[in-house]
Structure 1
Amino acid sequence: MLRINLDTLLWIVRSTREFHAKEEVVFPDDSLEGNDGDWAMQVLADHGSDMTLQELRMGVHGMEPGQQAELLALKWLGRGDYAPEEWEETRREAMENWCPEIMDRLIATPLVSEYLLEALDLLGIEHEE
């Protein structure tokens, strides 16, 4: 059902949790993905020397665009933007909206790990954190 290997997805969950748990990582209150998305680049640039972030970036950016789009679709599903029965539509929409910058915004989303896990639950995919 997923194009992303479940172990890889769970590694992304663990890595984003580790990155976001660090005390010096601060996110602005108005963190939107729309036109104000420059905040994500600023947050990530401020932490460019962080090893967890570097590994996470390399891992996510090394994925195929279809897999990256699926990460975005999982985020949307887990956040409640789409229902589980709209999964295929969600994937198509994510692929249409894919661009390299979206991955940095995804990584900089404070609750992304929880959204990804919630999406797995909604899709009925067994996993262990």
Structure 2
Amino acid sequence: MEPVTPIDTLCRIIIRAREYEAQVPSNYDEDESADNVDGNDDDEAYSVLDDDINTSVEEELAGIIDDLAEDQQAEVLAFVLVGSGEYDAEEWDEALEAAAEESHVTDTLMETPMLASVLESGMAAFELDCDGVGSVT
């Protein structure tokens, strides 16, 4: 299978999605620190996860997706649908059709848990990967 979306673009989405996922705020409840068993203040340990200040990665990831043509956006979402197990690789046409019907692809992708891993799995179902992409030879 030769994707419509360039492999380097798919890999860039994966890289940025990993960075984005690494800075998504935790679900840590500040009230829980009062119940801390060992008496240590764990706020500093969790503060690394609370990176609300740096929105550039989120904006860049959304921008990459927004800049894709509609058929490329649908293809990325279809890879995600295959990677998440909603469709098998043999059901590519159905996955692509379902993705093409989605009106808010960027929002859907940005809200996908573990987007990088799921997209990578979807690509792997078609023997596509990011090995060697972006490396100097």
RMSD of aligned residue pairs (Cα, Å): 2.0
The percentage of aligned residue pairs carrying the same residue is 26
Task: Give the corresponding residue for 2:128.
Answer: 125
Name the structure with the higher helix share: 1
Structure 2, unpaired ranges of 5+: 28-51
Amino acid at match of 1:112: L
> Quick one: which of 91, 108, 113 aligns to 1:110?
113
- State TM-score, norm by structure 2: 0.70
Equivalenced residues, count = 107
| Cα distance in structure 1, aligned partners of 2:129 and 2:68 | 22
Q: Aligned runs of 1:52-63 on 2, under 5 Å?
A: 52-63=57-68
In structure 1, what residue type is equivalent to 2:79? Answer: L
1:98 corresponds, among 88, 95, 102, to 102
Q: Give the conservation status (yes or no) of the 8 Å contact 2:78–2:99.
A: yes
Structure 1 ranges of 4+ moved more than 4 A:
none
| Whole-angstrom distance in 2 between the partners of 1:54 and 1:87 | 29
Cα drift, residue 58 of structure 1: 1.2
> Separation in 1 of the partners of 2:21 and 2:118?
14
Corresponding residue for residue 8 of structure 1:
9
The 8 Å contact of residues 65 and 98 in structure 1, kept in 2 or not, is answered as no
TM-score of the two chains, using structure 1 as the length reference: 0.74
**Structure 2: distance between partners of 1:78 and 1:23:** 21
The higher radius of gyration belongs to: 2
Q: Deviations over 1:21-41 (max 9, x none)?
A: 015255xxxxxxxxxxxxxxx
Amino acid at match of 1:110: P
